[in-house]
Structure 1
C-alpha cells in the first residue's frame, strides 16, 4: 500500500487528528498504530512551541522517561511550568515515532511565553508545588480525555477559576460513561480503550473517529466546558496547523487532547484566530528537559499529572502479552524479596481469581482493581500491610528519569551535577537515609554540599537524628530528589554559577538583610556547616554589629547557643572559629549582666519563655567550657593574647553560677525561674541537698501563695531533665512536696492543679508509678525504711562491692581494656567512677 492510499483511509478529510487521553497506555498504543498506518509527513503535538529545538534530545540514548519539559521566566525563575511525559504518554510516543523515521515533530499549543505572563498578570500563584486547589475528580485513576494538563503542565485553569467555575467544568469521561450505562468513568475507559485488543490495520483509525464524534457531541452541548482559556489555546493550534499544511500538505498528523479535536476541525478564519491572540502578555522564558518521577506523575495537584498508577500503566504499555500474569509474577518477586512466602501456586491462584472477578464484574479483562483484590486475598493473605508495599513500589513506583548532558541547563545546575558525580551522590526518587562520618574526606564533602544546597533553598536533603552516635563527627540525612528542585536550582542561579559561589553570595546577602540577631547567628552556623570561609567574615561583622546594638536579653540568649554549637562544628571540620569564639564570649558576658533585671516582674507566659532561655544559656556555657582552648578567643584575657585560657573557661562558669544564685534568691523573679536556678545549681554540685531542701521548704511554707509555690516546683522538678528521678531518690524533697500539696486550701487547689499536672505528666510511666508508690506508703513508712538502711532514704547503708564488681568485666570490654593488667584497669575504672 502506498503512503497516499494509507492517508486516504484515515478518518475524515484534511489533517489526521488523533484525540488522546494524556498518560494513557491505550491511547499511546493507538497513536503508534495510527502513525504506522498513515505515515504522515509531519507530526504536530500539543505542547509549548519553544520546545521544538529540544525535540532531537528525545532520541539521545541517555534520555530515559519519565521526563518533563520545564519552562521558566528568565527574570523570575520561580515562575515555571512543567509538561511531564512518561514512556506510555501518547505525546512521547509521537515524538519518538517522528525521530525514528526522520519526520518533523513540532509543538503547537500556546507558547509558554504567554502562559507564564498570563498567570502573573492574574496574580496566579505558580511554582509552588501542591498549592493549587484540587478539582472535582482529582487524584483518580487517570485524568480524563479533556482534563489534560494545560500549557503550564497543570490541570487546566485549576488556579485561575473560582469554585463555582470549577463545579461547572464538564467531565467528558463521566458524561460518556453515563451514556454507556457505566457508573464509574474509569472502569468504562479501561473496558473501551485500555482493554481493547485484536484491532488490525483496518480499524486503527476507528477509535479516534469514535472519540472525535463523542467529543463533538459534548462540545455542542457544553461549549468550552467551563475552560475559558481553551478557545485561545485552540486558536493558536489552528494557526500552527494551517502553517504546517502549507509546508507539508494535507498529510499532517496532530496528537492532542481529545477535547480539542472538534475545535481543531472547526472552520474558522485566520483573522478570527489572530484576534483571539491579540494583546496576550509576554515574558522571556527558557526551556529545557528535566528528570521526572513516577510519584510526581501520581499527584493530582501541584506539578502532578493525576495518574495514580504510573507503574501499572508502564507495565501495560510495555507488556508484549499476558499482562496480568506478568504483573502478578512481578508482585510475587517483590514480596519474596521482603521474605514473604509466595510460591508459583500462589501466582496461579491469583491469576485465576483476578480473571474470575473480571467475569463476575462484567469486564473484558482484569484491571488494576481485580489484580489488586487478587493480590490482597492470595499473595498478601488478606493483609493491607504488604499490599501497601506493592502499591508503593510497583503500582506507583520509584522511577526517576534521566536527561542527557546536552540538555540546556543553567551553569549552577551543571556545577551541581559535577559535584554529585565527584562525591558519588546520585539523585534518587526513593527516600533514603545517608550516614556521614565527617572525619572522612568524601563524607565531609557530601555534608558541605547538602548544607550549601539547604542554604540556597534546594531541599534535596533534610538533617535527621543519628541513631548510632551523638558525636559531632556524625551526621544523618534523609535524601529525596523531587522534580521541582530543578526550579529551585534555576532560582538559585541568580546567586552564582557554582554551588559554593552561590551559597557564599546568598549567605552574605542574608547577613546584610537579617533583622533578628538569632537569624545572623543561625547564618553563621550554616556557613561553618557548609564550609563557606569567604562568607564568614561578612556574617561575623553583621553579627558583631547587631550584638552591640541589641539590648534584648532574650534575643542575646537565643543567639548564644547557635554560636557555641558552631564552635564545636569547627573542631570536626577544621574551621578557624577564633572570631566566632570572641563574639560568643562577649554575648555570654552581656547575658550574665542583663539576665537578672530581665527576669523581674514577668507574667506566667513570659516567665516560661525566659525559662527556656535560661536552659539554653546554661547548655551553651557548658559547651563553651568544653571546647578546645586553642580554638577560643575572648575580647581580652589576663595575658593580653586574646586566648581564652582554661582559667577563662572556669571563670565563665563561675560567673554563670553567680547569676543563677542571684536568680534563686530574688523574690521579684517568678517562681518557675527561681526553681529552675536552684535545680541547675543542685545538678552542678554548687548547692548541697540540705540547702536545696531548705530553699524548697521556704517556698512551700504557708506564707507563699499556692500558685507561686506550684510554679517553683514546676521549675525545680518539671521538664524532662530528670526531676522525677530526683524525687524518687531524695524522699525528703518528695515529702516536702507531698506535705505542701496536702495542705493546699481547697479554694486554691484548682489554680495549682494545671501547673502540677504539667509538671508530672512529662515523667516516664515507671517514674510516676514509683512516686505514687512512695506517696502511698506515707512518710512514716518511708522514714522507717531509711532508718533500717542506715543511710539516705532510698539508698543502702553502705556500698555493695559485689554488685559493683560484676559490672567491671563488661566495662573492660566496652573500653577495650582486656589487654591491660586487670588490676590497673580496675583501678582506672574505679577512679573514673569517683
Structure 2
C-alpha cells in the first residue's frame, strides 16, 4: 500500500492556484486524481471532458424525494478543481470526488425548508460549511486574513493576490503548495476545525486509503488548503471510523450538471465562497504575461460602445498610471484596485457611473456556461430545453426586454411558456410595461433574465408533471385546493387563461364556484371580481370559453351590489380606505363588462349589471350618519360614490352641487366633510375648474371651518389636494386668490359683477409703470394715457 500522495492545497476560484495546479500535475504525472467534491457526482464526472461542457458550470445535488433540499458546487475555468478535473478526463485517468457525501448534509438539514442558497457554502479560505452546527460557531476566523495580518497586511484579498494569484509557476511547481501547507499547519496548531470539518477530513482520508488499496502509486489530491494538515497526518483507521459513525443516515441523492454564471460566482450575490471579480480572474487565467494592456483595451471598447470618448492614448496612460500606483503601494504587479483606480481617473474621467459599468460588465461579467445534452436531467428540464429551442428563447443571464404580439402563433406560445413557468415558481420572465404605446390586449412585454438556481426550482416542480404544460396544470389544481382567499382563486383563474391551461381550468373553476358560494365577506368578493373580469377580456386573442367565468362573475357582482352598502356602514378610517380601493376596482371591472362587445356582452347574468351597480352607488351616497359615525357610511365612501356617478353621467352637476352643499353645511362634522371631499376629488380635480359653483362651495366651507376643527381636517385636505395635477392645483389657487368667488360663493366674479374700485386704484400705479404711461410716479396723480392708447383695453 505504499504510494506517493501529493496534497495540493488550493483556494477555490483562484487563477493563481489554477495555474499552479496545472503545473504541478504536469510535473507529477499522477496515475489517479482525487478532488474535493461530492462522491455522488462520480458517475457524471466524465461529462466534464466533453467539448460541449463550457464553464462556468456547477454540480447540482438534491435529495431525491425533496428537490428543495439542494446544493451547488460551482466551477469556473479558473477554478483549480476544474483544472484538475479536465486534466484527468483529458488523459483518461481515474478521477474521484472524496468529500463527505451530500446525502449526509441533506440528512442534517432535513428539518430546514427551502433551497440552500449556494449549496455547500465555502468561505474565503475554502473552509467549507454548508450550514455547520452550532458547535462550529466559535471557530477562529478566516485563516487567510490571519496570515495576511501576520505578514503585516491589512487587506487579505490584496495580500493573497500578490503572493498567489499574480505568481507564475517556477521550476519547482510543488514549492508553492509546500509553503501553503506549512502556513496552514501553523494556523491549525491551536485547533480551528469544527466537528463537521473533522468528519469531512476523516472521510477524505478514507478515500485516500481506498485509492492506495486500488494500486495507484502516484496520487494527486486537490483540496482546500485548510484541510491539507489534517490529510497529511494520517491517524488510525479506527479513529476515522469512530468519527464517521456519528453521521446520520444518508439521504438518497441525485446529481447533475447545470449552467452557472460569473454573476452568481460573485460574493455580491450571497455565495459564501464567492469572489468579487470573476471576470477579472478569468482574464488573469487566460493571459500569459502582463494582463493590464489587454484588460484596459477591453474596458476602452466597452466604454466606446456606450458612447464614452476613449482613445488609444487613454489606454496607454491608464496602463502607466496603474503600474505607477503598484510601485507606490509596494505591490509586485498592478492588481484590480490599481487597475480600477486608473480606469476611473483616465478612461472614465472621474465618473463613478462609467466605472460602475466597467465593474458590472468586466470585473464581474455575464458569462453563462453550457452543459451537454447527455447530462442527467429530469423530464421537465428536458421538455423546457426543447421548448426553448423551438421558440428561440435562449437562456441569458443578462436582462433583456421581449415584446410579444399575441396574434402571432410563436409569440403566443412564448407567452404561454413564460406564464406557465411563473406558475411553477420559475420567474425567468417578469411582465413589465410595454415600451410600445398600445391599448389592445394582444400585446405583452416581458423582462427575461435566467438565473442558475432555476435548475433547483425546475427539479422541485417535476413532482407536478413531466412536461411544462402538465406540471403547470398540476400545480394550478394543487394551488387551488390549498387556496385560502377567494382573490387567490380568481387570480389563479386568470393565470390559467393566459397560460393556456385548459385542462386545469375546470377543476379550478369548481373550487372557485364552491368557495364563492360560501364566502360572505364583501371585501373578499370585491377583491376577487377584477381578476375574473380581466380573464373574461382575454377572449379576443386567446379564444377562451367564457360561459363558466361569466356565471361566476355575474354571481359575484350581484352579491357585491346587495352586500356593499351594509358592509360600508360604521367603518373607521382604515376600513373605509380599504373599501374605497375595492370600490374603485369593482367600478372599473363593471365598466369593462358594460363596454365589452363580442362574447362577453352576450353572457347571461351580466345584462343590466351597470344599472344595478349604479343603484348600489346611489344607496351608498344616501347613507349619511344621522346618529353618529357608526350609523352611516363614512364620508370618504359617500363622496367617492357621488364622483363615480358623476363621471358615468348618472348625476348632473346641479345635483352634485346640491349634495356638496349639504355635506359642507354646519350640521355635518368637519372631519366627515373632509373625508367626503377626499373621496370626491380622488382621481382628478379638474371638475373644480369646469364647475365654478363647486369651487365656490368648497371655498366657502373651508373659510368657515372653526379654528379648533381646522387643525384636524388639514392633513386630510393636504393629502387630497396633493393628489391633484400640478396644473389643476395652480389654477385653483389662482382663482381663489383672485378674490371672492361671487355672491354666496356660488359664482366667480365676471364682467357683470360690480368692480371693486378700491382694489383697482391700488394696482393702477404698477400697471402704469409697466405700460410706460406718463405721470405715474407722482403721488396721488392718475396717469395720463397717451392719445394713441385711448380706447384700448388696458
Note whether the superposition's TM-score is higher than 0.5.
yes
- In structure 2, the residue corresponding to 1:43 is in which secondary structure? strand
1:603 correspondence with 2:572: yes
Hey, what does 2:733 align to over in structure 1? Answer: 772
Equivalents in 1 of 2:680, 2:317: separation in Å?
Answer: 66
Aligned pair in 2 of structure 1 residues 181, 316: CA closer, same or farther (>3 Å)? Answer: same
How many corresponding residue pairs?
A: 741
Listed one character per residue, the Cα deviations across residues 637-658 of structure 1 (whole Å, up to 9, x for unaligned) are: xxxxxxx6xxx2xx11111111
Contact 1:727 1:734 in 2 (8 A): yes
- Out of 490, 504, 520, which is 1:551 matched to? 520
1:79 is paired with a residue whose SS is: strand
Which deviates more from structure 2 when the two are superposed, residues 758-767 or residues 304-313?
A: 758-767
Establish whether residue 519 from structure 1 lines up as the match of residue 488 from structure 2.
yes
Instruction: Specify the SS of the correspondent of 2:267.
Output: coil
Match of 1:230 in 2: 197
1:796-807 matches, within 5 Å, as none
Residues 265-304 of structure 1 mapped to structure 2, 5 A cutoff:
265-281=232-248, 282-299=250-267, 302-303=270-271
Counterpart in 2 of 1:367?
335
| Counterparts of 2:544 and 2:68, CA distance in 1 | 34
The question of whether the paired residues in 1 share the 8 Å contact of 2:107 and 2:251 is answered with yes
Per the alignment, do residues 427 and 183 of structure 1 end up closer, same or farther by CA in structure 2, a change over 3 Å counting?
same
Report the alpha carbon displacement of residue 461 of structure 1 after superposing the two structures with TM. 1.2
Q: Following the alignment from structure 2 to structure 1, what is the Cα–Cα distance between the partners of residues 679 and 203? A: 71
Q: 5+ residue gaps in structure 1?
A: 1-7, 151-155, 637-643, 791-834
Of the three residues 66, 73, 86, the one matched with 2:63 is 73
Contact 1:578/1:631 (<8 A) preserved? no
Q: Which among 125, 128, 133 is matched to residue 145 of structure 1?
A: 125
Counterpart of 2:228? 261
Distance 1:160 1:716, change over 3 A: farther
The 5-angstrom pairing of residues 648-687 of structure 1 reads 648=607, 651-667=608-624, 668-687=632-651
Q: How does 1:477-492 map to 2 (within 5 A)?
A: 477-492=446-461
Q: Is 1:313 the equivalent of 2:294?
A: no
User: Is structure 2 residue 206 aligned with structure 1 residue 239?
Assistant: yes
Where does 1:33-72 land on structure 2 (aligned, <5 Å)?
A: 33-72=23-62
CA contact (8 A) 2:15 2:78 kept: yes
- TM-superposed CA distance for 1:144, in Å, is 3.0
Match in the other structure for 1:807: none
Equivalent residues of 1:599, 1:607 under 8 A apart = yes
1:43-83 CA-partner distances (Å, limit 9, x unpaired): 00000001111111111111111000000011110000000
SS at match of 2:319: helix
Query: Which residue number corresponds to residue 17 of structure 2?
Result: 27
Q: Alignment partner of 2:300: what SS?
A: helix
Q: 1:471 aligns with which of 440, 444, 456?
A: 440
Separation in 2 of the partners of 1:479 and 1:78? Answer: 23
Alpha-carbon shift at residue 784 of structure 1 (Å): 8.4
- Is residue 2:115 matched to residue 1:115? no
2:724 to 756, 763, 772: 763
SS in 2 for 1:630: coil
Distance 1:462 1:429 in 2: 14
8 Å Cα contact 2:139/2:192 also seen in 1: no
Judge conservation of contact 1:465–1:476 (CA < 8 Å) in 2: yes
**What does 1:324-343 align with in structure 2 at a 5 Å threshold?**
324-343=292-311
Name the structure 2 match of 1:190. Answer: 161
Match of 2:713 in 1: 752
Of stretches 780-789 and 767-776 in structure 1, the one that deviates more from structure 2 is: 780-789
Contact 1:455 1:507 in 2 (8 A): yes
Equivalent residues of 1:70, 1:81 under 8 A apart: yes
- CA separation in 1, counterparts of 2:748 and 2:108? 82
Distance 1:712 1:784, change over 3 A: closer
Distance in 1 (alpha carbons) for counterparts of 2:623 and 2:93: 88
Distance 1:186 1:696 in 2: 71
Say whether residues 1:708 and 2:708 are aligned partners. no
Contact 2:124 2:273 in 1 (8 A): no
Q: CA deviation at 1:443?
A: 0.8
Given candidates 531, 535, 545, the residue that maps to 2:500 is 531
- Map of 1:82 onto structure 2: 72
Task: Mark the CA change 1:507 to 1:229 in structure 2 (over 3 Å): closer, same or farther.
Answer: same
Question: How far apart are 1:395 and its partner, in Å?
Answer: 0.4
CA distance in 2, matches of 1:302, 1:77: 21
Q: 1:104 deviation in Å?
A: 1.2
* Residues 780 and 542 of structure 1, relative CA distance in 2, 3 Å threshold: closer
1:243 aligned counterpart, secondary structure: helix
Q: Map 1:358-757; keep pairs closer than 5 Å.
A: 358-468=326-436, 469-631=438-600, 634-635=603-604, 648=607, 651-667=608-624, 668-718=632-682, 721-722=683-684, 724-757=685-718
- Residue 160 of structure 1 deviates from its aligned partner by 4.0
SS at match of 2:751: helix
Local SS of the residue matching 2:202: helix
Shift of 1:300: 5.4
Tell me if structure 2 keeps the 8 A contact 1:315–1:323.
yes
Question: Using the alignment, how far apart are the partners of 2:113 and 2:234 within structure 1?
Answer: 36
Residues 128, 19 of structure 1: alpha-carbon distance in 2 compared, 3 angstrom cutoff: closer
CA distance in 1, matches of 2:499, 2:599: 22
Q: Distance in 2 between matches of 1:596 and 1:246?
A: 84
Q: CA deviation at 1:336?
A: 1.0
Secondary structure of 2:686's counterpart equals helix
Deviates more, 1:231-240 or 1:599-608: 599-608
Residue number among 115, 122, 143 corresponding to 1:127 in the alignment = 115
**SS of match in other structure, 1:72:** strand
Aligned-residue offset at 1:570:
2.3
Between the aligned partners of 1:144 and 1:481, the Cα distance in structure 2 is 27
Normalised TM-score (structure 2): 0.90
TM-score w.r.t. the length of structure 1 is 0.86
Q: Secondary structure of 1:248's partner?
A: coil
* Structure-2 residue corresponding to 1:209: 178
Distance 2:318 2:348 in 1: 10
* 2:693 and 2:746 in contact (8 A); partners too: no
Equivalent-residue separation in structure 2 for 1:29 and 1:727 (angstroms): 76
Which residues of structure 2 form unaligned runs of 5+? 625-631, 754-794
Tell me the equivalent position of 2:750: 787
Q: Is the 8 A contact 1:224 1:231 kept in 2?
A: no
Query: Is residue 131–residue 302 contact of structure 1 (8 Å, CA) maintained in 2?
Result: no
Worse-matched range after superposition: 584-593 or 621-630: 621-630
CA root-mean-square deviation: 2.1
Matches within 5 A, 1:86-97: 86-97=76-87
Write out per-residue CA displacement over residues 187-207 of structure 1, whole angstroms, 9 at most, x where no aligned residue.
11111111223x43x321100
Deviates more, 1:123-132 or 1:13-22: 123-132
Partner residue of 1:803? Answer: none
Which 10-residue stretch deviates more, 777-786 or 26-35? 777-786
Q: 1:806 maps to which residue? A: none
Q: CA deviation at 1:780?
A: 4.4
